[in-house]
A and B are shown apart, each in its own frame.
Chain A
Amino acid sequence: IMASSYGAKEEDGHHPGSAGLGGAAIRTKKPDNTAFKQQRLPAWQPILTAGTVLPAFFIIGLIFIPIGIGLYVTSNNIKEFELDYTGTDMSSPCFNCSQSWNSTNTCKCELFFSLDQPFESNVFMYYGLSNFYQNHRRYVKSRDDSQLNGDERSLKEPSKECEPYRTNENKPIAPCGAIANSMFNDTLDLFYIDPNGKKRPISLTKKGIAWWTDKHVKFRNPGGSNSNLTTVFKDTAKPVNWHKPVYELDVDIENNGFINEDFIVWMRTAALPTFRKLYRIIQKNNDMTPTLPRGNYSLAVTYNYPVRSFEGRKRMILSTISWMGGKNPFLGIAYITVGSICFFLGVVLLFIHHKYGNRNNSSDIAS
C-alpha cells in the first residue's frame, strides 16, 4: 500500500538532504535546493502599518517645516530688484526706442530707479525676457555644437540644423543657427546717483557669468592657438541680425569669438518662455560699504533688441544670492506647506486609525 506520508515528508522539506533515494541520474533532474531557485531568498518585507507610516508622516512634517522656514527666511533676506525697460508705456523713457527701432541706428535711453535697501555682498545683474520662446523645438535645435566647439569642418560647412541661418551669401554663418542669430544685444550700464546728484558708473564684471565647462570645454574658438580671430573667421559671414561679426564681440582675446561669455550664456537656451540670464556681476569691493547702497540709480540702455513684435518684455534684475541661489520664496513656502500637510495627515491618519482602524486584523480570516 502506497503511503501518502511520503509526500508530506517532501512537503516540509526545508532540510536539504531529503532526496536520498535516487542515484546520480535522478539527482540531475531534481531541481537544486538553492534559496534563489526555491524562491526563499532572505528578504525584508516592509508593511505599511500604523507603526511605520504615522511616524514617517510626523518626521517628514517635523523635518520639512524647519527647512521650509529656513528657506523662506533665507529667500527673504535676498534682495532683488526688477526693472522693466521694454518701453511699451508712453511714459517710459525707452518708449521712443521701442517704437522706432531699426537695425542700423542705435537708440539709447536711460531709466532711473532707487533701491530702498542696500545690497550686501556680490550682486548679480540679469536681463530677463518674457514671451520669448527660447524653448521652441526648431529654435533649440538650430545650432551646431561642433562648430561652436571649434571644429574647422563645421565652421566651413555648418550643420543642416542651422537652416535657414546656415549660410549667407554663400558664406557659412559663424555662429550659425537661430539661437546665435537672435542673441541678446542690448547694452546695460548702471550708474549710482549719489546724494549730490552726481552719476557714478558702477563697475560690472563680465567674466565668470558662464559655466566653467561651457567656457573651457564646450565652446572653443576654431584655429586652435591662432589668436588672430579675424583670420580664423575670415571666410565666414556674421549672423544676419548681428551688428558686428563674432570676432568683434570683445576686445579681450579670452572673451572673444565663441568663448565670449555673453554669447555662451545666450546659447544655453532657457526652458521656459519667461527667463532671466546672468548679465554682469557687481563685485563687492570692501567690507565696509554695501555693494549697492540705498539711493538712486540710473540704468543706461543701448536699445538694440526688439521685442515689441512678439509682445515680449525686457527686464533688468539685480539680485544678491545666498547658499540656496537666487530669491525663491516659493520653495520655502512649498516646504512649509508640504511639511504641514504631512504633519496634518499624520494627525488625521492617527485619528482615523484610532477611531476606525482595524487593529484586530487576524481574527476574521477564514482559512
Chain B
Amino acid sequence: MALRWLWMLVPWRGDWNPRSKSPGQEEERHVRANDRDYNERFSYADNHIKTAKYNVFTFLPINLFEQFQRFANAYFLVLLILQLIPEISSLSWFTTIVPLVLVLAITAVKDATDDYFRHKSDQQVNTRQSQVLIKGKLQNEKWMNVRVGDIIKLENNQFVAADLLLLSSSEPYGLCYIETAELDGETNLKVRQALTVTSDLGDDVAKLADFNGEVICEPPNNKLDKFTGTLFWKDNKYPLDNEKMLLRGCVLRNTEWCFGLVIFAGLQTKLMQNCGRTKLKRTSIDKLMNTLVLWIFGFLICMGIILAIGNTIWEQKVGSNFWEYLQWKELTISAVFSGFLTFWSYVIILNTVVPISLYVSVEVLRLGHSYFINWDRRMYYSRKATPAEARTTTLNEELGQVEFIFSDKTGTLTQNIMVFNKCSINGKTYGDVYDEFGHKVDITEKTPCVDFSFNPLMDRKFRFHDSSLVEAIKLEEPLVQEFFRLLALCHTIMPEERNEGELVYQAQSPDEGALVTAARNFGFVFRSRTPETITLYEMGQAVTYQLLAILDFNNVRKRMSVIVRNPKGQLKLYSKGADTILFDRLDPSNEELMFTTSEHLNEFAGEGLRTLALAYKDLDEDVFDEWMKKLLFASTALENREEKLGALYEEIEQGMMLLGATAIEDKLQEGVPETIACLTLANIKIWVLTGDKLETAMNIGYSCNMLRDDMNEVFIISGHTMVEVRQELRMAKERIMGPGKDKFSSGLDMEKTELYSSDSVFEETIIAEYALIINGHSLAHALEADLEQILVDVACLCKTVICCRVTPLQKALVVELIKRHKRAVTLAIGDGANDVSMIKTAHIGVGISGQEGMQAVLASDYSFAQFRYLQRLLLVHGRWSYHRMCNFLCYFFYKNFAFTLVHFWYGFLCGFSAQTVYDQWFITLFNIVYTSLPVLAMGLFDQDVNEQYSLRYPNLYRPGQLNQLFNKRKFFTCTLQGAFAVTIATSLVIVVSAQIGLDTNYWTAVNHFFIWGSLAVYFAILFAMHSDGIFTIFPNQFPFIGTARNSLNQKIVWLVILLTTVVCIMPMVAVRFIKADLYPTHTDKVRLLQQASRRQGPQEQNFRRVRRTSSRRSAYAFAHQQGYGELITSGKNMKVPTASTSTYPLSSPARGNSVVKNSVVSGTTDAAETNSTGFRRESDQNQEVTVEDLEAR
C-alpha cells in the first residue's frame, strides 16, 4: 500500500494532455461566410495542426524539465549536489556528472530528432493546397491558412481540408459524392446534398463571394454522424444536418467540383476530435523498471540507514578511542551527527545500484531494435516501395508481450478489392484452371490471363484465367449469355463515360461493381442508363432495354430483381440474391440444377468466396400489368408501404429459373488467414473492430478463418436497449459456462484480483470455441459501467470477437476496456483515420502505410504495408526485443549489485566510514566503459532462437505474455546473484564479463569484439591510469601509480581471480543446466532442435496451410443499405439538363435512406483513467525467491 502511495508521487504518472486546456467552453458556434473579421472575434481554431512538442527556443528548457521528471535523473542531480558538500562527499563530482551529462545528451538528441520528424509531418499536412475564395477571387492557399468562414473549392478526388457546409456542386440538385473511408472505414460512396438555395449559387464566384449567410450550430464535438445547425440568409432560416456536411478526411468522388463553407477547422474538426488523446506510451517493462528503481532506492536508503547506525555505534565504541590518533573531535560533534553524515556519504557511494546508465542503455537498445525493424527486408513491401517503420522507439519490447490485437477490417485485413473469381452457369463451373492432365492448377501471377481483346470496351484491370468461359460466350451459348445479361442489367450502378469507351462504374457496393465489370469484359457491357432504360453493348451490339421496375435490395429480402422489356418485346425478370432465399423461389423443374449449383456453391464457399445465385423468369404481359397496377397503388400507400411493397415483390419473384451462381472474392490482404492462424497459435486474441455492417464483418471473419462452422456457437449481440443487451450477454455467458456456473454474475462485488485469477483459470478450461459478434449500438450500451464487466467476461471466453458498426471513439473505448480489465498488452492495427483513436489508445498502435490517407500512420507507433508483417513484427522482432531487453535488464541489475554491494560489506570493515573499495575512476568508468558495451551488444544482437524457428513455433511467444522473462522475481534472482558475486576490481570486471558471456546466446563478431575489447580496454585504462605519466600530470587524481604493475605481476593475484571467477560463475552454470535439463522451456527445446538441424543442414520447411471450412455466404451481405433503386427510377441522380432545382422536394426517401441512421450514443462514457500502477501479476511472487537461487549461493 505504501508503495502504491509512493508511486503517486512519481511525476510522470499523470497524463499531460495538451488539448485539455481549451479556452472557455464554446456553447454555440456562429460562422458568417466571407467575413473573417466577424469570425475572428470568436477565436476559433484555425486549420493549422501541430503535433510537435518543441521549437528551437523552448527545446532546451522543456526537454531538460521533462528529463528531470525522470526519477533517476532527478536523483542523480540531487546526488551531484550532495557531492559538493565536502563533509559528505565520498566520491568526486565527476563520478556522477560524467554519466549524467552523457545520459542527458543522448536523450536530448533523440528527442530532438523525434520532434524534427513530427515537425516535418505537420508541415506536410499543413502545406497541402486548397482553393480559397478570398476577396472575390479563388486563390491557392495552404491548408493551415484556411479559416473558419472561408469558402473553399474542392475538386474531384481531393481530400476535404476542414469540416465544410456543402454550398453547391457540379452535380444536379447540389448532390455530391464522398468517400468516408478515412472516417468510418466504409468505402462505398455517400451522397451529400446542398440546400437548394445555396446550390443555386453554382460555381459563380461572384455570387459565392457575395454570400453572407450566417451559420449557428453546435460546438465542436466528436460525433461523426450528427450535426445540427441553422443557416440564416436573406432573412430566412434553413435547418442544417449532417447530410449537408463534408467532414475533414473525406475524399470527394465522382463530383467535378463543389464549394463549401468552413465550419470547423484544424483541431476542432470532427476527425481530429475523434483522434483520442495523445498519451505518452510507456511499456510495462518501463513501468516495472520505474518501480524497481524505486525499490532499489528504498533498498539503498535501508542500506544507508543500517550503515549510518553502524557508523554511530562504531564511532561511539571504537572510533572514540581511535580519535586519539585521528583527532576529529572538532569535525564530528557527536557520533549521531557522524552517522547522519555517513548516511549521505553512503547514499552517494551506493548510488551505482540505481543504475543511471540503465535508462540511456535501454533507449539505445530500443533505438537499435527500431532500426532492425526499419531495415527488415521481409517487412518491405516492394509493390508500394514501403519499408516497415518503427515510428516510436520506446515500445519495442512490448511487441513481445501482446495479448490482444484489435484490427480494423477494410484496408487492413482486406484490400477492399472485389474480384469476380468463379461462376457456375447451368451446372458447369468456370474459373478453375486445369493442366493437360486435368489437375487443378494453383492460380498465381504467372498463370496466363484470358485475352479479352475481342472486346473494345473491356476493363483492362480485370483478370480471368479460365478461357473456357470466353469460348462459351463466343459460341453464343444462350444460358451463358443470359447469365451475363442478367449481371449487366440487374444492379443499381451508375455508369460514367468521360471519353468514348472509358467507362467508370459508380457502385454502391464493391461486389456489384465486380459483377458488372465481369459482365462488361465478357461482352455484355453496361453502357448507360436513364430512369426508364438501360443500354447494353452485347458483343458489340447496342441493345436498349426498357427498365420497368427495380425490386430493390434490403436486408430482409436479401435479393434484388429488375423487370425489363427487351427489344423483342419480351418481359423478363432478372433476380440475384442469397442462394437460400433464391432457391426457395425457384420453379420446381430446377431441382436437379439446384442440386449441382448447390454443390458448386459449397465449393466456392470452401474457398472463402462470397456467392450469389442468379435466376430469371419470363413474365406474362397480363400478369405483369396486373402486378404493376398493384405496385403503383402500394407505392403511394401511406401506411405500411414497405410491407406492402415487400409482399408484392415476393409475389412476382416466384417460380424463377435458375441460371447459376457467381463467386466473388473479397480480396484479403496477402497472407491474412495464415497470419491470424499463426498469431492465434501464439495465444494472441484478435478482435476485429470495424465500421462495416454485421454481415460484412462476419464474412471477413469467415474468410480470415476467425469464424468457422465448427465453432460451437456464434453469439450475435444486437440489442437496442440496455436491457436487451444485458439479456443477450447473460444468455451468451450462460451458454458458455453452463447454466449452473453463473458465479460471476455477482462478480462485481468480488475482489478484483480474485476475479482475475479465477477468471483466467476458467478461461483455460473452456475448450469449446465460441465467437461473439456485437453491433455498434449494442456496444454503446455494453460499454457502460454496468455492463462492461460482463462484456469483458463473455468476450474473453470467446475465441473470436467482432465488433461492427463501431465509431472511431468506440474502438478506442473497447481497447481501453481491455486495457483496464485484463491488464494485458494491446495492439491496435488499422489504416484509416477512423482507427486513429484506437491506435492511440492501445499500448501499441500499428498503421498500415502505403495507402492514400496518412492519419493512421502518423498516429501509429509502427507502420508497414501489409497485415501479414504483423506476424514478423510480433513473433520475431517483438520476441527478440523482449528477450533481449529482459536479459539485458537482468544482467544490468546483476552487474550493478555485484558492483555496489561490495561497499556495503566493506562498510563493516572500515568502520562504516563510507570508504570506497575501488578507486574513483573505476567507479566512474565501470558502468559506462568497462561493462557497457558487451551488454549492449547482447541487447542488440542476441537471438535465443532464430527467426525461422520463432515463426515456426508461435508458442515461443508465450513467455512474453506471461511476463516470464523479467519480473520482480527475476529481479530478485539477479540481485541475489549480484550480491553473491562480490569480488573486487579486476576480478569483478572479469566475473562480470564471464557472466555476460554466459548470458549471450548468440555470439556475433560484435559480441566477441565487445567482450574481449572491454577486457582489453579495462586493462589498458588500468595501466594507463596507474602509469607514471598520468600521475605526474595529476598527482592528486591518480594516486595509484604502480598498483596494477605491482599486483598483477603476482601469480597469486591471478590465482585468486581465477578462483573467484569460477566460484561466481559455476553455480549459475549448474543451475541453468539443471533447469534446462530437467524443466526445459519451449525456448530451450527449440534451441536444441535448432542446433540439431544446423548440424544436419537445412531442412524442408513445413509451411502451415490454413484450410478454410466455411459456410456459404451471400455476397449481398456486402451491400450496406437499401439500394439506390428508387433514386434511379426517380431519375434524381441523372444529369437531366431540364431539371428544375427550385421544385426539388427536400426529403427524398432515397436520399434519406442512403445514409445510415446511426443511433449510437457515443462519447458519453468517460474514458476512465487507466489504473497504471505498473504492477503486473507477479505481486504474489515476491517471496518466491526459489530454492535454486538459495542453493546457488
Which residues from 1 to 57 on chain A have a C-beta closer than 8 Å to any C-beta of chain B? 1-7, 10-11, 13, 19, 21-22, 25-26, 29-33, 37-39, 41-50, 53, 56-57
Indicate if A313 sits at the interface (CB-CB under 8 A).
no
* A80 CB to nearest chain B CB (Å): 15
The chain A residue with its CB closest to the CB of B869 is A7
Bound Cα distance from A345 to B1191, whole angstroms: 12
Bound Cα distance from A163 to B380, whole angstroms: 68
Q: Are B322 and A310 in contact (CB under 8 A)?
A: yes
Which residues from 161 to 208 on chain A have a C-beta closer than 8 Å to any C-beta of chain B? 163-165, 178, 181-182
Contact of A323 among B324, B667, B915, B1051 (CB under 8 A): B1051
Bound Cα distance from A138 to B909, whole angstroms: 14
* A254 CB to nearest chain B CB (Å): 19
Indicate if B256 sits at the interface (CB-CB under 8 A).
no
Q: Are A349 and B1073 in contact (CB under 8 A)?
A: yes
Contacts of B1062 in A (CB 8 A): 60, 64, 338, 342
Bound Cα distance from A13 to B380, whole angstroms: 12
Contact of B1066 among A145, A149, A342 (CB under 8 A): A342
* B872 CB to nearest chain A CB (Å): 9
- A contact residues, total (Cβ < 8 Å): 97
Q: Are A138 and B326 in contact (CB under 8 A)?
A: yes
Indicate if B943 sits at the interface (CB-CB under 8 A).
yes
Indicate if B330 sits at the interface (CB-CB under 8 A).
yes
Q: Which of A81-89, A106-114, A282-290, A350-358 contacts B (4 or more CB under 8 A)?
A: A350-358
Bound Cα distance from A49 to B1084, whole angstroms: 10
Q: Which of A115-123, A211-219, A243-251 contacts B (4 or more CB under 8 A)?
A: A211-219
Bound Cα distance from A328 to B1052, whole angstroms: 10
* A169 CB to nearest chain B CB (Å): 16
B1063-1097 CB mask vs A (1 if < 8 Å, else 0) is: 10010011011101110101011111111100000
Contacts of B447 in A (CB 8 A): 3
Among A50, A145, A164, A353, chain B packs the most CB atoms within 10 A around the CB of: A145
Indicate if A235 sits at the interface (CB-CB under 8 A).
no
Q: Are B1077 and A352 in contact (CB under 8 A)?
A: yes
The chain B residue with its CB closest to the CB of A133 is B911
Contacts of B1076 in A (CB 8 A): 47-49
Q: Which of B144-152, B698-706, B1037-1045 contacts A (4 or more CB under 8 A)?
A: B1037-1045
Bound Cα distance from A181 to B326, whole angstroms: 8
Contact of A43 among B385, B1002, B1059 (CB under 8 A): B1002
Q: Are A45 and B1055 in contact (CB under 8 A)?
A: no
Indicate if A90 sits at the interface (CB-CB under 8 A).
no
Bound Cα distance from A159 to B1039, whole angstroms: 14
Q: Are B1077 and A133 in contact (CB under 8 A)?
A: no
- B contact residues, total (Cβ < 8 Å): 106
Contact of B1077 among A50, A241, A309, A364 (CB under 8 A): A50
Q: Are A48 and B1072 in contact (CB under 8 A)?
A: yes
A215-227 CB mask vs B (1 if < 8 Å, else 0) is: 0011000000000
Bound Cα distance from A271 to B1043, whole angstroms: 13
Q: Are B667 and A273 in contact (CB under 8 A)?
A: no
Contact of B382 among A30, A71, A133 (CB under 8 A): A30
Bound Cα distance from A311 to B907, whole angstroms: 20
Among B916, B1051, B1073, chain A packs the most CB atoms within 10 A around the CB of: B1073
Contacts of B1082 in A (CB 8 A): 365
* A125 CB to nearest chain B CB (Å): 20
Q: Are B915 and A135 in contact (CB under 8 A)?
A: yes
Number of CB contacts from chain A to chain B under 8 A: 271
* A148 CB to nearest chain B CB (Å): 8
Contacts of B22 in A (CB 8 A): none
Indicate if B386 sits at the interface (CB-CB under 8 A).
yes
Contact of B1055 among A29, A43, A71, A165 (CB under 8 A): A71
Indicate if A100 sits at the interface (CB-CB under 8 A).
no
Q: Are A217 and B1041 in contact (CB under 8 A)?
A: yes
Bound Cα distance from A358 to B1102, whole angstroms: 25
Q: Are B1078 and A356 in contact (CB under 8 A)?
A: yes
Indicate if A139 sits at the interface (CB-CB under 8 A).
yes
A324-363 CB mask vs B (1 if < 8 Å, else 0) is: 1100100100110010001001000100110011100110
Q: Are B1088 and A362 in contact (CB under 8 A)?
A: yes
Contacts of A33 in B (CB 8 A): 377
Indicate if A253 sits at the interface (CB-CB under 8 A).
no
* A135 CB to nearest chain B CB (Å): 4
Which residues from 930 to 986 on chain B have a C-beta closer than 8 Å to any C-beta of chain A? 941, 943, 947, 952-953, 955
Given known pairs A145-B1035, A324-B1055, the reply for A39 and B372 (CB within 8 Å) is yes
Bound Cα distance from A244 to B941, whole angstroms: 65
Indicate if B1005 sits at the interface (CB-CB under 8 A).
yes
The chain A residue with its CB closest to the CB of B1084 is A361
Among A45, A47, A56, A325, chain B packs the most CB atoms within 10 A around the CB of: A45
Q: Are B910 and A362 in contact (CB under 8 A)?
A: no
Bound Cα distance from A64 to B1051, whole angstroms: 15
* A330 CB to nearest chain B CB (Å): 10
Given known pairs A37-B372, A71-B1055, A331-B1055, the reply for A133 and B913 (CB within 8 Å) is yes
Indicate if A91 sits at the interface (CB-CB under 8 A).
no
Contacts of B1003 in A (CB 8 A): 43-46
Indicate if A73 sits at the interface (CB-CB under 8 A).
no
* A194 CB to nearest chain B CB (Å): 36
Indicate if B378 sits at the interface (CB-CB under 8 A).
yes
Contacts of B372 in A (CB 8 A): 37, 39
Q: Are A361 and B953 in contact (CB under 8 A)?
A: no
Given known pairs A41-B1006, A146-B1035, A164-B327, the reply for A4 and B670 (CB within 8 Å) is yes
Indicate if B531 sits at the interface (CB-CB under 8 A).
no
Which residues from 422 to 456 on chain B have a C-beta closer than 8 Å to any C-beta of chain A? 442-447
Bound Cα distance from A139 to B910, whole angstroms: 10
Bound Cα distance from A352 to B375, whole angstroms: 45
Bound Cα distance from A273 to B1031, whole angstroms: 27
Bound Cα distance from A169 to B1045, whole angstroms: 40
Contact of B326 among A56, A146, A182, A364 (CB under 8 A): A182
Indicate if B1050 sits at the interface (CB-CB under 8 A).
yes
Contacts of B445 in A (CB 8 A): 2-3, 5-6
Q: Are B1088 and A361 in contact (CB under 8 A)?
A: yes
Indicate if B419 sits at the interface (CB-CB under 8 A).
yes
Given known pairs A310-B321, A349-B1070, the reply for A13 and B377 (CB within 8 Å) is yes
A60-97 CB mask vs B (1 if < 8 Å, else 0) is: 10001001000100000000000000000000000000
What 17 new A-B contacts, CB under 8 Å, besides A135-B911, A178-B327? A1-B463, A1-B465, A19-B382, A37-B375, A49-B1076, A135-B913, A136-B326, A137-B90, A140-B915, A159-B1036, A213-B1028, A218-B1042, A310-B324, A338-B1066, A352-B1077, A361-B1085, A362-B1085
Chain B contact residues, CB within 8 Å of chain A: 86, 90, 318-319, 321-322, 324-328, 330-331, 345, 372, 374-378, 380, 382-383, 385-387, 415, 417, 419, 421, 442-447, 463-465, 665, 667, 670-671, 866, 868, 880, 909-911, 913-917, 941, 943, 947, 952-953, 955, 1001-1007, 1028, 1031-1032, 1035-1036, 1039, 1041-1042, 1045-1046, 1050-1052, 1055-1056, 1059, 1062-1063, 1066, 1069-1070, 1072-1074, 1076-1078, 1080, 1082, 1084-1092, 1102
User: Would you list 26 pairs from A and B whose C-beta atoms are within 8 A, ordered by A residue?
Assistant: A1-B465, A3-B443, A6-B670, A7-B868, A30-B385, A30-B387, A37-B375, A39-B947, A47-B1076, A48-B1069, A49-B1088, A57-B1070, A67-B1055, A136-B322, A136-B915, A140-B915, A159-B1036, A213-B1028, A309-B321, A349-B1070, A349-B1074, A356-B1078, A361-B1089, A362-B1092, A365-B1089, A366-B953
